Structure 1
Amino acid sequence: MEAIAVREQQYKTYILSDVAAQAQLEVVPERGGIITQWRIRDREILYLDAERFANPELSVRGGIPILFPICGNLPENTYTHQGRQYTLKQHGFARDLPWEVTDTTTADPISITLVLNSNDRTRALYPFDFQVAFTYQLKGNTLEIRQRYTNQSAEPMPFSTGLHPYFVSSDKTQLKFDIPSDQYADQRTKTTHFFNGDFDFNSDEIDAAFLNVSSQSANVTDASRQLQLTLSYDESYSIVVFWTVKGKDFYCLEPWSAPRNALNSGDRLIYLDPGASCETRVCLSATFF
Structure 2
Amino acid sequence: MYKIESFEKQMFAMYQLSNEEGTSWITVCPERGGIIIGYGTKGQEKLYLNEETLYDRKQNIRGGIPILFPISGQLPNGQYQWDDKHYHMPNHGLARIHPWEVIETYADEEKAFISILFESSIGTKEAYPFDFEVIFTYTLKEDQLFIYQTYRNVGSAPMPIYPGLHPYFKANSKLVSIDTDAKTYYDYNDDQTKDFTGQIDLEKLKEAVVLENKRAAVDAKFDDVDVHIEMGKDFRYTVLWSEQGKEFVCVEPWTAKTGELGHQDELIIVEPKDAHETWVSFQVV
Q: Give the Cα separation in 2 of the matches to 1:204 and 1:266.
A: 27
- Equivalent AA in structure 1 for residue 143 of structure 2: N
* Bigger Cα displacement from structure 2, 41-50 vs 15-24: 15-24
In the TM superposition, what are the counterparts of 1:43-62 in structure 2 within 5 Å?
Answer: 43-62=44-63
Look up the SS of the partner of 2:208 in the other structure. Answer: strand
- CA drift at 1:133: 0.1
Residue 125 of structure 1 aligns to a residue whose secondary structure is coil
**Partner of residue 105, structure 1:** 106
3-state SS of paired residue (2:284): strand
Distance 1:109 1:62, change over 3 A: same
Determine the C-alpha separation between the residues in 1 that align with 2:256 and 2:177.
25
- C-alpha distance in 1 between matches for 2:37 and 2:50: 10
- Aligned residue for 2:248? 250
State the superposition RMSD in angstroms: 1.3
User: Match for residue 145 of structure 2?
Assistant: 143
Contact 1:168 1:251 in 2 (8 A): yes
| Matching residue of 1:9 | 9
Aligned equivalent of 1:152: 154
| 1:131 and 2:133 are equivalent in the alignment | yes
Q: How many residues align?
A: 283
Deviation at 1:9, TM superposition (A): 1.6
Contact 1:18-1:140 at 8 Å conserved across structures: yes
Mapped contact 1:180–1:217 kept (Cα < 8 A): no
Percent of aligned positions that are identical: 35
Match of 2:230 among 229, 232, 245: 232
* Aligned position for 1:286: 284
- Secondary structure at 2:199's aligned position in 1? coil
Q: Is this contact kept in 2: 1:79–1:87, CA < 8 A?
A: yes
Q: Name the structure 2 match of 1:163.
A: 165
Q: How far apart are the structure 2 equivalents of 1:99 and 1:149? A: 14
In structure 1, the residue matched to 2:117 is: 115
Are 1:109 and 1:137, in contact at CA under 8 Å, matched by a contact in 2?
Answer: yes
Aligned to 2:215: 215
Contact kept? 2:174, 2:203, Cα under 8 Å: no
Q: CA deviation at 1:221?
A: 2.4
Secondary structure in structure 1 of the residue aligned to 2:200: coil
Cα deviation for residue 180 of structure 1 reads 2.8
Per-residue deviation at 1:147?
A: 0.2
- How far did residue 90 of structure 1 move? 0.7
Q: TM-score, normalized by length of structure 1?
A: 0.94
1:171 Cα deviation after fit: 2.6
Q: By how many angstroms is 1:220 displaced?
A: 1.8
Q: Which runs of no fewer than 5 residues in structure 1 stay unpaired?
A: none
The Cα shift of 1:20 comes to 4.2
Secondary structure of residue in 1 paired with 2:9: coil
Query: Which residue identity does 2:174 align to in structure 1?
Result: K
Distance of 1:140 and 1:227 partners within structure 2: 18
Inter-CA distance 79–117: structure 2 relative to 1 (3 Å threshold): same
Could you say which residue in structure 1 is the equivalent of 2:87? 86
The Cα shift of 1:150 comes to 0.4
Cα-to-partner distance string for 1:6-60 (whole Å, 9 max, x where unaligned): 1112211001011247201100000000000111232111000111112110100
The CA distance in 1 between the partners of 2:42 and 2:270, in whole Å, is 41
Change (3 A) 1:201 1:156: closer
What is the deviation of 1:177?
Answer: 2.3
Kept after mapping to 2: 8 A contact 1:17/1:23: yes
Q: Which runs of 4+ in 1 moved over 6 A?
A: none
Cα separation, partners in 2 of 1:23 and 1:190, compared to 1, 3 Å: same
Q: Which amino acid aligns with 1:285?
A: Q
Bigger mean CA offset, 17-26 vs 275-284 = 17-26
Q: Which deviations, in whole Å up to 9, do the C-alpha atoms of 1:248-272 show, x marking residues without a partner?
A: 1000111111111111211210111
Rounded Cα–Cα distance in structure 2 between residues aligned with 1:202 and 1:91: 23
Deviation at 1:128, TM superposition (A): 0.4
Compared CA separation, residues 83 and 267, structure 1 to 2 (3 A) = same
Query: CA-to-partner distance for each residue in 1:102-144, whole Å, 9 max, x for gaps?
Result: 0000122210000000000001110000000000000111000
Secondary structure of the 2:235 match is coil
Tell me, in whole angstroms, the C-alpha distance in 1 between the residues paired with 2:74 and 2:202. 24
